[in-house]
Structure 1
Amino acid sequence: MQTDEIDMKLISLLSENARLPVADLSRRLGIARTTVQARIDRLQDRGAIAGFTLRKGASLRPAVRATALLSIEPRAAAAVIARLKTLPQVETVHTTSGRFDLIVILSAQTTEELDERLDDIRDAQGVKTSESLIHLSTKIDRAG
């Protein structure tokens, strides 16, 4: 079964607040509670909803975030990614096409801590070059 407009509205509501009771979702969507629950179950079964998660509030979020763009030596990806996994400040790592091979999103409590982690990343065996972008403010955050 395809994802329809009601499913997309349901996903949007759950993305804003995954703790909304089924009764509230039902009222907002204008459909029966049992239908809402059946749709949630179906979306989970199909993998459209992978799970429900906690979003940290501003008081728990790290103060400084950055993106590091890495060019790596040929066949060094596994070793570089293994090194990145050991750094708790590294949140996500993406492979990419173009001038850089990896996009690394990281966070820290201070600029000094961030600077040290960026040094660790630059010094990792297999990293040829890196470019760092410090996040200043968030204008849109649909991922939470």
Structure 2
Amino acid sequence: MDSLDARLLLLLADEPRLGVLECSRRLGVARGTVQARMDRMQRSGILRGFPPDLDLAEMGYGLTAFAVLEIAQGRRDAVAAKLAAIGEVCEVHATTGQGDLFVRIVARSNADLQRVVDEVVAVPHVLRTSTSIALSTPVPPRFRPLLERIAEEE
């Protein structure tokens, strides 16, 4: 990844509906260059798609919680597959330390969170959970500072 790749991704992050031709015009490079770079970044897995940026609270899922799960040894894939089937489970990370999996959950209310946690606890091979409710998100998920650093490298 180089400075032009980073500048292209920053442009698409700001305006995801821009076409290849408009990107090439704004970046001052040929249309084929932009297309080739986008194709390469998609093939390599850097650019995974153009999903809409959704506000889950506006969709009715205003509560976010994080659960640390301890699971039976050797059962990570099986547990992760079951967790993926629970719609309110937004992401799962295998971790080091006291827990084995770190899970981000959304819910409509405290009662709804209890329902979701009960589903998580019912997953076979989940031994123990510890759940914390997020009060706010002072730094949301981001990648912009990393792209800006790369864009400035050349």
* TM-score band w.r.t. shorter chain: 0.7 to 0.9
- RCO greater where, 1 or 2, for CA within 8 Å and sep 6 or more? 2
Unaligned runs of 5+ in 1: none
Q: Check 1:24–1:107 CA distance in 2 against 1; reply closer, same or farther (3 A cut).
A: same
Deviates more, 1:47-56 or 1:94-103: 47-56
**1:55 match:** 53
Q: Secondary structure at the match of 2:38?
A: helix
Q: Check 1:81–1:18 CA distance in 2 against 1; reply closer, same or farther (3 A cut).
A: same
Aligned residue-pair number: 141
Deviates more, 1:61-70 or 1:72-81: 72-81
Q: Check 1:35–1:79 CA distance in 2 against 1; reply closer, same or farther (3 A cut).
A: closer
2:33 aligned to which of 32, 35, 55 = 35
Query: How many percent of aligned residue pairs carry the same amino acid?
Result: 36
What TM-score comes out, normalization by structure 2 length? Answer: 0.75
Deviations 1:46-97 (A, max 9, x none): 3322222222246326211111111112233344334323321112212111
Runs of 4+ with >6 A deviation: none
1:111-130 pair list within 5 angstroms: 111-130=110-129
Letter in 2 for 1:141: P
Cα distance between partner residues in 1 of 2:62 and 2:70: 27
**2:136 match:** 137
**1:85 match:** 84
1:4 aligned to which of 2, 5, 14 = 2
Deviations 1:103-137 (A, max 9, x none): 11111122210122113323433222211121222
**2:101 match:** 102
Unaligned runs of 5+ in 2: 144-154
What TM-score comes out, normalization by structure 1 length? Answer: 0.80
Q: Secondary structure at the match of 1:87?
A: coil
